[in-house]
Structure 1
Amino acid sequence: MEEGFYHENPSIAASKIFPPKWYYKPWNLAQPQSYYATILEITDSVKFKHFKLHSDHTKPAYSTCIIHKVIHPKDWGQPLHQPLSFLMHYRTSLQDFNTTYTYWDYQQAWFNAFLMQNQNHSHSWLFYFHNTMNTTNLPLWFLQWWDFYGCHVDYLKEHHLVENGYLHFKNNFQPAPSKRKFSSLLIFCTKFFVPWVCSWFYDYNLQNGHPVLVRKFKIKWWDSFAAESKSSKLAVTEWLQKHQTTAPITDPHPQSKFLARKAQTAALLASARTKEEYLQIVQGIIQSQDPKTVLSQSSSSGSTSPAISLGNDNEDDCFGILPSITRR
Structure 2
Amino acid sequence: MSSKSIFPFKTKQSYSLQKRQLPPTITNTQINKALISPPKPLTIVYSDVVKNSNISHTSTSKSASTQDPNKTIYKHIKNPYTEFIFSIEPEFRKNCKTPLDIAKRVFYPDWHYYNNHAQKTQTFYEFILVDTNSIKISPKSDPKNPELITHTSVFIQKILTLSEWGQNPHYFKQFTTSFDLPIYNYFDYMDAWKNTFLFQNIEDRHSWFFCFDKTFKKQTIPYWFIDWWCFYGPIEEILPPPIIEAFNTFTKHTESLTLCPTMLSFFIHCKLSWIMYWDYTIEELPQTIPSLHRQFWTKWWNKYDLSKCTSETILLSLK
Q: Same fold (TM over 0.5)?
A: yes
Q: What secondary structure sits across from 2:91 in the alignment? A: coil
State the superposition RMSD in angstroms: 1.5
Which position in structure 2 is the counterpart of 1:298? none
Alignment of 1:1-328 (within 5 A): 1-6=88-93, 7-54=96-143, 56-88=145-177, 90-91=178-179, 95=180, 98-156=181-239, 159-175=240-256, 179-207=257-285, 208-225=287-304, 227-241=305-319
- Amino acid of the residue matched to residue 201 of structure 1? D
Gaps of 5+ in 1: 242-328
Displacement after TM superposition at 1:218 (Å): 0.4
Find the aligned partners of 1:116 and 1:139 in 2 and give their Cα distance: 24
Seq. identity, %: 28
Tell me if the contact between 1:131 and 1:191 (Cα under 8 Å) persists in the aligned partners: no
Find the aligned partners of 2:97 and 2:288 in 1 and give their Cα distance: 16
- Amino acid of the residue matched to residue 25 of structure 1? Y
Q: Which has the higher helix share?
A: 1
Query: How many residues matched?
Result: 229
TM-score (norm 1): 0.67
Q: What secondary structure sits across from 1:50 in the alignment? A: strand
- Amino acid of the residue matched to residue 62 of structure 1? H
Find the aligned partners of 1:35 and 1:58 in 2 and give their Cα distance: 20
TM-score (norm 2): 0.69
Gaps of 5+ in 2: 1-87
Find the aligned partners of 2:151 and 2:145 in 1 and give their Cα distance: 15
Find the aligned partners of 1:135 and 1:149 in 2 and give their Cα distance: 20
Q: Deviations over 1:150-203 (max 9, x none)?
A: 1111111xx12211101100111125xxx3321111001001032100100011
Tell me if the contact between 1:48 and 1:65 (Cα under 8 Å) persists in the aligned partners: yes
Tell me if the contact between 1:19 and 1:26 (Cα under 8 Å) persists in the aligned partners: no
Mark the CA change 1:188 to 1:33 in structure 2 (over 3 Å): closer, same or farther. same
Give the structure, 1 or 2, with the largest relative contact order (CA under 8 Å, sep 6 or more): 2
Q: Which has the higher strand share?
A: 2
Find the aligned partners of 2:101 and 2:219 in 1 and give their Cα distance: 43
Displacement after TM superposition at 1:111 (Å): 1.1
Tell me if the contact between 2:140 and 2:152 (Cα under 8 Å) persists in the aligned partners: yes
Find the aligned partners of 1:79 and 1:204 in 2 and give their Cα distance: 38
- Amino acid of the residue matched to residue 306 of structure 2? E
